[in-house]
Amino acid sequence: MTYPVNGKVPVPTLERLATYLRYLIDLEHDKVSTISSGEVEEQTGVNAAQFRKDLSYFGEFGKPGVGYDVAELQSRITKILKIDQAQPVILVGAGNLGSALVGYPGLQEHQFNVVAVFDNNVAKIGRKLWNLEILDLDLLAEVNKTAKARIAILAVPRGAAQTVTDTLIGAGVVAILNFAPTSLKVPKNVFVRNVSFLQELAVLSYHLSHDEEISAEFPPSPE
Amino acid sequence: MTYPVNGKVPVPTLERLATYLRYLIDLEHDKVSTISSGEVEEQTGVNAAQFRKDLSYFGEFGKPGVGYDVAELQSRITKILKIDQAQPVILVGAGNLGSALVGYPGLQEHQFNVVAVFDNNVAKIGRKLWNLEILDLDLLAEVNKTAKARIAILAVPRGAAQTVTDTLIGAGVVAILNFAPTSLKVPKNVFVRNVSFLQELAVLSYHLSHDEEISAEFPPSPE
DNA sequence: TGCAAATTGTGACGTATTTCACAAACATGG
DNA sequence: CCATGTTTGTGAAATACGTCACAATTTGCA
């Protein structure tokens, strides 16, 4: 009923909050001061009622007849998502993907600070990834005693994923963004979000061949 | 009622099919010939009934009292997802992320062949990304007349995303895996799957601060 | 062969999420 | 200060998705 939260917030709602936030930041750059839920729908494709309901989990944000104050809404969403202040994050896996992730400017912009990078490959340990030294995986627990990251990004091969996960949890990590194509076994108090490119491509591939309007865009085999 | 499809298959089901497939490939390597839905649940965390229902959208796969033949199930899922034969894919954006994606061995393994890479950055055009030459974005339509990719991976900055999308669609692409943090406007016959690291991290960040069992893992400020 | 054990496929039920639709709140202009 | 137009916040309805529970099928063994 008031600001914080009542019971449970649907995960899809949280996902969309991040979307709104991105959009609001753009609007602020464009000096737009107010928006309506209808405008949000036009821009983001999210149904206007959906937008309002999403916000309603966290209190009242708009003025009837007017809309939402861009700056205030932006500020309140960052607070809800707890990205209003810097958060330490550790990365495990300094391969191509890990490297790309650390270099992704959006992380900093959204207050996720990669404070340490780990790998178990001797050839990599000691080298620099952007401005961070790649550390021995064995040091993880020790390093995180001071780094105190509670979020980790896991970008290691499937075979190593579960072992590393156990290490992470032992080191105090309670939220893992998993890029390894395997399902991690974790205690109930640890949150995992899986990202799987192959899964996404597979879904696209399926639609390609099963949706009528599409087939015959390129004829099956003209020659 | 029979093999192909009845009406609509839930997207979550398709996502899980990709998960099962990964698992089945491992099982084949381990020379396991048969599995039950209960074993799938143990290994993947997906409820056994869910697994069976997912399959039921596409026909009957198992034998009561026995289970599922690993090889056959694997084969049928690849056919359902249309990854039983190589599919051409084009990549736009040869930055860090794009580079990591092309190099990801899982793509080849699942029959997604990156056949061309495009970028609009003159400094990059002509250089090689793995074994592919980076081509000028302006050549996209022309190149895809012969490449005939219907799937594209979009790994460009937000600002360029919509323009590139329009180009892609003009070139015959009907499925886009979008890594740009923006919502693309596409005609109804084009499918888009969005991948947003920030969204995922934001969800984790929210849980971190709102789930009771977790707080006090690291005391608020001991010193 | 007949019975017990295992496991599938699926209708019925339950939960989660989205969409609808409308009263209440506010703004504007005469 | 009232009438009109806009837009919010939210119960209620609709849809989508997940889980349960059990009849039906197969196996293996006495």
Task: Please write the tens of the pLDDT for every residue from A12-71.
Answer: 999 999 999 999 999 999 999 999 999 999 999 999 999 999 999 999 998 999 999 999
Strand C nucleotides in reach of protein CB atoms, 7 A cut-off: 5-11, 16-21, 24-27
Predicted confidence (pLDDT) at residue B119 exceeds the cutoff of 60: yes
Please give the pLDDT value at position B169.
Answer: 97
Q: Which of B138, B17, B131 is nearest to B73 (CA)?
A: B17
- In sequence order, the β-bridge partners of residue B178 are B154, B194
pLDDT at residue A7 in the model: 63
* A69 three-state secondary structure: strand
**Contact residues for A179 (Cβ-Cβ < 8 A; gap 6+):** A93, A97, A153, A154, A155, A195, A196
User: Which has the higher per-residue pLDDT, B73 or A213?
Assistant: B73
CA B162 to each of CA A15, A127, A197, B157, B202: distance values in angstroms, whole numbers, following the listed order? 21, 37, 21, 10, 24
In this complex, the residue of A17, A89, A99 whose CB is nearest that of residue B202 is: A17
pLDDT band with cut points at 50, 70 and 90 for residue B143: very high
Task: Output the average pLDDT for chain B.
Answer: 91
Residue of B nearest to A150 (CA): B208
| DSSP notation for chain B | --SS-SS---HHHHHHHHHHHHHHHHHHHTT--EE-HHHHHHHH---HHHHHHHHHTT---EETTTEEEHHHHHHHHHHHTT-SS-EEEEEE--SHHHHHHHT-HHHHHTTEEEEEEEE--TTTTTSEETTEEEEEGGGHHHHHHHH---EEEE-S-HHHHHHHHHHHHHTT--EEEE-SSSPPP--TT-EEEE--HHHHHHHHHHHHHH-TTTTTSS-S---
Q: Does B3 touch chain A (CB under 8 A)?
A: no
Q: What is the mean pLDDT of residues A151-168?
A: 97
For residue B76, pLDDT beyond 50? yes
pLDDT in tens, A61-110: 989 999 999 999 999 999 999 999 999 999 999 999 999 999 998 999 99
Q: Best interface-test mutation with A: which of B47, B80, B199, B215 has the largest number of A CBs within 10 A? A: B199
- Decide if A175 contacts B170 (C-beta within 8 A): no
The whole-number pLDDT of residue A211 equals 66
The predicted-structure confidence for A115-141, as pLDDT tens digits, reads as follows 999 999 999 999 999 899 999 999 999
Average pLDDT (A151-159) is 96
Encode A117-152 in three state secondary structure. EEECCCCCCCCEECCEEEEEHHHHHHHHHHHCCCEE
Nearest one of A5, A127, A37, A182 to B18, comparing CA atoms: A182
Per-residue pLDDT at B133: 96
H helices then E strands: how many in chain A? 9, 10
Asked whether the predicted pLDDT for residue B123 surpasses 50, the reply is: yes
In whole angstroms, what is the distance from residue B134 CA to residue B183 CA?
26
What pLDDT score does A1 carry? 32
Distance CA B137, CA B116 (A): 10
**Which pLDDT belongs to residue B209?**
84
Q: Has residue B1 got a pLDDT over 60?
A: no
- Comparing CA positions, the residue from A101, A112, A84 lying closest to residue A175 is A112
Residues at the strand D interface (CB under 7 A)?
A 1, 35-38, 48-49, 52-53, 55-56, 60-68; B 8, 10-13, 47, 49-50, 52-53, 63-66
Q: What 3-state DSSP class applies to A83?
A: coil
The reported pLDDT for the residue numbered A105 is 87
Is the pLDDT at B211 greater than 70? The verdict is no
Closest of B31, B21, B91, B8 to residue B61, by C-alpha:
B21
pLDDT in tens, B6-50: 468 999 999 999 999 999 999 999 999 999 999 999 999 999 999
CA–CA separation, B219 and B193 (whole Å): 39
In Å, what is the CA distance from B179 to each residue of A53, A183, B155, B198?
27, 22, 5, 11
pLDDT digits (tens, 9 = 90+) for B155-209: 999 999 999 999 999 999 999 999 999 999 999 999 999 999 999 999 999 999 8
